[in-house]
């Protein structure tokens, strides 16, 4: 059982938007600006797509956005593309040098 709760799967058609939620507690997600999101294609290492709750690394399209409200963080992918089909993981820094992860959400582009 993962510390952070994500939906197991979401789906959308090309061009549509989907939102993936990530629910934790005041000790992790709700405790600061330490939420990050990772995209993982099959057989590949995770790739950072969001950090510090809302920021995008250079090279990540602005179709990827995120926010947080209370103990729940959310990732929105707009203008869905076929290559967005992947697993998405939220991650939160907790206590000193510890991290907790969500169980992952499989995004299917219909």
Partner 1 sequence: QVQLLQSGAEVQKPGTSVKVSCKASGYTFINYGIIWMRQAPGQELEWMGWITPYNGYTNYAQKLQGRITMTTDTSTSTAYMELRSLTPDDTAVYYCAAAFCFSATCSSIKTYFEHWGQGTLLTVSS
DSSP at 60: S
Shortest Å, Cβ 14 to partner 1: 26
Residue 72 burial class via C-beta count within 10 angstroms: exposed 0-12, middle 13-18, buried 19 and up? middle
Q: Which is nearer to partner 1, 48 or 108 (CB)?
A: 48
Q: Cα–Cα distance between 24 and 22 in angstroms, integer? A: 7
Per CB under 8 A, residues contacting partner 1 are 2, 34, 36, 38, 40, 45-48, 51-52, 57, 89, 91, 93, 96-104
Shortest Å, Cβ 22 to partner 1: 12
Q: Which is nearer to partner 1, 1 or 13 (CB)?
A: 1
Please give the helix or strand (H or E) that residue 36 lies within, else none: strand 35-40
């Amino acid at each position: 059982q993962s510390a952070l709760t994500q939906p197991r799967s979401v789906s959308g058609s090309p061009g549509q938007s989907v939102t993936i939620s990530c629910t934790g507690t005041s000790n992790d997600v709700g405790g600061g600006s330490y939420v990050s999101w990772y995209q993982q294609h099959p057989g590949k290492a995770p790739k950072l797509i969001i950090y510090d709750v809302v920021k995008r690394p250079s090279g990540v399209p602005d179709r990827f956005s995120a926010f947080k409200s209370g103990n729940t963080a959310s990732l929105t992918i707009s203008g869905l593309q076929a290559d967005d089909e992947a697993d998405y993981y939220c991650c939160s820094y907790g206590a000193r040098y510890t991290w907790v992860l969500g169980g992952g959400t499989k995004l299917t582009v219909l």
